[in-house]
Every structure is written in C-alpha cells, then in structure tokens.
Amino acid sequence: MSLITFDLNAYKKLNPKAYALEKRRLQIELLKLQEDVIKNERRICIVFEGRDTAGKSSAIKFFSEYLMPKNFKYVALGIPTKWESSNWFKRWSKVLPKKGEIAFLDRSWYTRALTEPVMGYCSENQYLEFMKEVNHWEKKQIRKGMEIIKFYFSLSQDQQKRRMNARKKSELKYWKLSKNDEGIATKWDIFSLYKEEMFEKTSTNISPWVSINANNKMIARLTALRFLLNKIAYKDKKLLKPARWSKKIQNYQASLEGVLFENLTYEQYMLITKYTDDTTQ
C-alpha cells in the first residue's frame, strides 16, 4: 500500500489574514498549472472522496475559484441508472477530463468501494468486481496520458457530528443534510472497514491515495492544494514554504450563520469554528 497521509502542522495556528495570503499564493500557482495543461493538452483528474461534511465540495470551490471556466469541470454524478450501475467504469469514462482540461470529481468511481456497499446500493458481486478491476482501469487511463490525484478528506466522528448538527440547525444549509447522509453516519465503523480495504487494495505506487486531515477545513484545503502543486510538474513553478503562524495573533475572525465575530483570541476562534459548518473554516 502506498498511502500518503497529511496532518500538516505548518498551518496549525493559521489566522484568517494569513489564510487569505497563502490561498492567494497557491491559487496563482494553480492558474499557472492550468495554463500548462491547456498549452500542452494535458488531462488531469482530481478525485475528492471522504465522509459527508468532510469538506469535499468546498475544497473544489476553493481550488477552482480563479481558474478559466472553459478548461475545468466540476463532476458530481447523481444516483446511477440501472445501466450505469451495471456498467460502472463506462459511466465514469464519460466524465473524465478531455485534452487541455482539469476535472474535479466530487465523489468518484470509488463510490462503489465506500457508500454503495455500506448502504446496500450495489451487490456483493458488483463490489468485488470493482475492487478486482479498478487498479487495472486506472493504469489504463494513466497509460492514455491522464494524470490522477486521489484525495481522501478524513475527519473525526465527533467533528462530523458537530458539522451535521450545524447543518440541521442552519436556516441556509439544512438542505445539504439528506436522509442518506444521516443514515450512513450511523454506520461509522462499517464505513471505516470499507475505507481501510479501499486504501489497502487501491493505493498503488502509480495511483496512491492522499489522506488529508480535514477536521479544520481551511488547513485541509491549503494542504491538499499544496500537495497537488508540489506533485505535478508545470512551467514556471514557484512554491514558497508555508509560513509559521503564531497563537499570539489577536485578530482572528470567524463567521457563524452569517454573523462575523472579530478580534477573537486563538482559543475563542477555535471554539466557534468547532461548531460551525461554515465554508470559511
């Protein structure tokens, strides 16, 4: 197994102003990468997997905020049809990036390794067939020139409960919490078993999983984007080392249900952001 795990301490004491600065630096580099992808007709597929509320969708929004719209796509497929369920890889082959394009997948073909078997949405044979064929299928795509990055956003059970509760009580985000989300959250241990099996069988040398600690969404986004930029070659690459942040900063800000709290201490900031599902976390 070639699992890559990140629990980056370099960003541990990050405040909003420093976050905005680092975000800008990394997004400038990502735009350089996109220009290189367009010019050289490269195909990059970035997979985002993880439990509900781990921050996959907001991370994709963070990545793509300043990219040229015509040359990237956001992919979030819904419930598969009967045909798609029986032709799993053909379903996903249709949405892979074209030449000169970056594709961000908000869940991917790995739904069959995680959510589907946990919730009984696929048969045991379908699951076993997927696990048998997926590495071969990915190698085939890579041989065709596609570059694949597979992120898994990991969070603690307590953090997931807090975020789900925040969504449930939010007048703006309640719709994000579905019955399916609540159902799969009750199967934490079963999901963990399937996740570990997925890592064990499908994290290969040429297509490893990159596990990101997503208990703090701000840190998870920066960590994931920095990994991507370090991993992939592109023209005029210029990456700066993460700055070291200090708890002594007294101008932390946090937004809760649209209300901005300013001039917070680090401890106050951490307390508020623990109980919010705000996308600025």
pLDDT in tens, 34-76: 999 999 999 999 999 999 999 999 999 999 999 999 999 999 9
The DSSP output letter for 205 is: S
Say if 261 falls within a structural domain. no
Separation between Cα atoms, residue 89 and residue 111, nearest integer Å: 12
Dihedral of alpha carbons 255, 214, 113, 186, sign: negative
Q: What is the number of domains present in the chain? A: 1
CATH code of residue 102: 3.40.50.300
Residue 49's DSSP bridge partners are 152
10 found inside a domain = yes
Helix, coil or strand: residue 256: strand
Nearest to 122 by CA among 185, 80, 181: 80
267 part of a folded domain: no
Whether residue 260 is contained in a domain is answered as no
Is the CB of residue 276 less than 8 Å from the CB of residue 254? Answer: yes
pTM of the model: 0.83
pLDDT tens, residue by residue, 74-128 = 999 999 999 999 999 999 999 999 999 999 999 999 999 999 999 999 999 999 9
What is the strand order of the sheet 146-154 is part of?
4-6, 209-213, 146-154, 43-50, 101-106, 72-75
209: in domain = yes
265 within domain boundaries? no
Establish if 91 belongs to a structural domain: yes
pLDDT band at 239 (very low <50, low <70, confident <90, very high): confident
**For residue 194, is it within any domain?**
yes
Q: Which domain does 198 fall in, by range?
A: 4-245
Cβ atoms of 207 and 148 closer than 8 Å: yes
Cβ atoms within 10 Å, residue 259: 8
